[in-house]
């Protein structure tokens, strides 16, 4: 079986992100690693990721971050475009890790969710 082509949007300071990466490596998979704090995703990339995840912008927000409160992201009147712009401007607001395989993706919380991408 060919090794799947996986990409992980990773934060090395996050235990869940490290755990997902470790699980992939235990399966003999070395994914493409994107340190999304250093390479923030664009709004277009965020839209693409959300489509693959089957989630909305609010589903991937880290509500415990100071930036969540500072930017008033709890406001239910904010549009998806406004939420996406906030995540693109402050990538620490993005829940992690997100692991992508082709047209599928998982938010690997818990990290074991990455294994879902390894089955057809």
Is 68 catalytic? The answer is no
Buried b (16+ CB within 10 A) or exposed e, 10-26: bbeebebbebbbebbee
Residue of 7, 14, 65, 92 marked catalytic:
14
**Cα separation, 88 vs 41, whole angstroms:** 6
Q: How far apart are CA 103 and CA 80, in angstroms?
A: 21
| Cα Rg of the chain (Å, integer) | 14
CA proximity to 92, closest of 6, 14, 7:
14
- E strands in the chain: 6-10, 32-35, 98-101, 104-107
Give catalytic residue positions: 14
């Amino acid at each position: 079986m060919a090794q799947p082509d996986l990409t992980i949007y990773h934060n090395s300071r996050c235990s869940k992100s490290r755990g997902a990466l470790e699980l992939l490596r235990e399966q003999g998979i070395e994914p493409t690693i994107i340190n999304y704090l250093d390479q923030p995703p664009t709004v277009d990339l965020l839209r693409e990721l959300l489509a693959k995840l089957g989630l909305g912008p609010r589903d991937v927000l880290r509500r415990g971050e100071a930036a969540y409160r500072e930017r008033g992201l709890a406001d239910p009147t904010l549009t998806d475009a406004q939420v996406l712009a906030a995540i693109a401007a402050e990538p620490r607001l993005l829940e992690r890790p997100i692991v992508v395989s082709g047209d599928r993706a998982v938010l690997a919380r818990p990290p074991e969710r990455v294994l879902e991408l390894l089955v057809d």
